Structure 1
Amino acid sequence: MKKLVAGVDRLLAIVGGVALIAGGIIALAWHYDAPWARETLSRFDRARIAELPDQGWWVPALAVCAGVSVVVALLLLVGNFSPRTTGTASVIEVPHFSAHVDLSAIASGVAAELADFPGVRRARGTAIDDRGMPTIAVSVYAAADFDVVAFTALADARAAFVAESLSGAYVATRIQLHVDKRK
């Protein structure tokens, strides 16, 4: 996930959560006859609030709010579900020369090596951008009677090899293991 999208998601979740908690506290306080809640809510003119939907500006304002909400929701969906793939990583950067490696090919190679382990049904590797950090992500699917300890040692060795091979680049390695449920 991109940093901006993650930040907007968190900000909206915090604002929505605080608004819901505040609304709940006010509703509970009113229900249990808290003096400050009764006094605050008695200041509102009920007749004027009931007349709001009859005003001429109400329908256009509602339409604008609905339109803005739809656009923001679509932007959040596109931002959250857009591909996070990354292409290359720079391993050497000196004046007049730079060397880049294809992270997708490395991820596929690591996945192919891990797929050969006994008990692994399949492995898939891809290069993603995880909050600004190029990441080699490998998903491994294995049977329930699988040797997790030996596989973990192999996965750790592959991750160390990738880190050593890309020693000039900031690249993370993530290996996710999905083990079938026992029947």
Structure 2
Amino acid sequence: MNALPAGLNRVVAFLVAVAMIVVGAAAIAWELKVTWVRDRIADIDASWFDRAPDAGWWVYVLAGIAVGGIVIGFFLLSVNARPRKIGDVELPGSDSSGTLAVSPGKIANAVADDLAHHRLVSSTRSKAVDDRKRKLLEITVIADPTTSFDDLLPVVENAQRQIRGALPGSDLRARILIHLEKSKGSTQRVS
């Protein structure tokens, strides 16, 4: 997740948490008969709550709150659902005469394709993402559960060397995840 969505999510979660803590603490204090809280609540004109729905402005306030909530909700959804793709990476050798660039997604696909042809690997998935201002090539290696991790490790390390060799000096990093698929007919459950 990028810094902007992560920051917005934290701010919204903080504000909601503070509101819930205040309301919850007030309810608990009311039940415990805390004088200060009961005095503050007693100062509120209870008949206002009966009169407010009959006022002409009430419908507009409710509509404004509903529209505001929907707009904020769609804004948060759009910020969180936006693609986290990264642009082309500039290669060494670029100068004033021209820029050499490569698509990180194509590098991830090439490395994943190379890994998929290895005898220990069943399949692969790949993507290039921006994860909190870190450019990552995320490659998932799927292998049979009987495959030894020690056997897969040199294969994965070779893939990482290939990525570093293809992008010397780049801030692009590889994240290779190893997933051992569930064997067919297995009823074993992990709790």
- Deviation at residue 113 of structure 1 after TM alignment: 2.5
Question: Counterparts of 1:52 and 1:150 in 2: how far apart (Å)?
Answer: 72
2:21 matched residue in structure 1: 21
Question: Counterparts of 1:53 and 1:156 in 2: how far apart (Å)?
Answer: 67
- Deviation at residue 77 of structure 1 after TM alignment: 1.5
- Deviation at residue 50 of structure 1 after TM alignment: 2.8
Task: Name the CA shift for 1:156/1:23 in 2 (closer, same or farther; >3 Å).
Answer: farther
Do structure 1's residue 90 and structure 2's residue 93 form an aligned pair?
no
Q: Per the alignment, in what secondary structure is the counterpart of residue 21 of structure 2? A: helix
Number of residue pairs matched?
A: 183
2:189 matched residue in structure 1: none
Do structure 1's residue 177 and structure 2's residue 178 form an aligned pair?
yes
- Deviation at residue 89 of structure 1 after TM alignment: 0.7
- Deviation at residue 154 of structure 1 after TM alignment: 2.4
Question: Counterparts of 2:21 and 2:49 in 1: how far apart (Å)?
Answer: 23
**Higher strand proportion (structure 1 or 2):** 1
Matching residue's letter, 1:137: E
Question: Counterparts of 1:141 and 1:34 in 2: how far apart (Å)?
Answer: 60
CA contact (8 A) 1:84 1:128 kept: yes
CA contact (8 A) 2:84 2:129 kept: yes
Question: Counterparts of 1:41 and 1:153 in 2: how far apart (Å)?
Answer: 68
Question: Counterparts of 1:30 and 1:153 in 2: how far apart (Å)?
Answer: 64
- Deviation at residue 108 of structure 1 after TM alignment: 0.7
RMSD: 2.1
- Deviation at residue 63 of structure 1 after TM alignment: 0.8
Task: Name the CA shift for 1:36/1:151 in 2 (closer, same or farther; >3 Å).
Answer: farther
Do structure 1's residue 75 and structure 2's residue 75 form an aligned pair?
yes
2:166 matched residue in structure 1: 165
What residue ranges of structure 2 are gaps of 5+ in the alignment?
187-191
> Could you tell me the TM-score, scaled by structure 1's length?
0.87
Do structure 1's residue 61 and structure 2's residue 71 form an aligned pair?
no
Question: Counterparts of 1:53 and 1:26 in 2: how far apart (Å)?
Answer: 25
Identity %: 29
> Could you tell me the TM-score, scaled by structure 2's length?
0.84
Question: Counterparts of 2:109 and 2:69 in 1: how far apart (Å)?
Answer: 40
Matching residue's letter, 2:34: A
CA contact (8 A) 2:120 2:152 kept: no
Q: Per the alignment, in what secondary structure is the counterpart of residue 98 of structure 1? A: coil
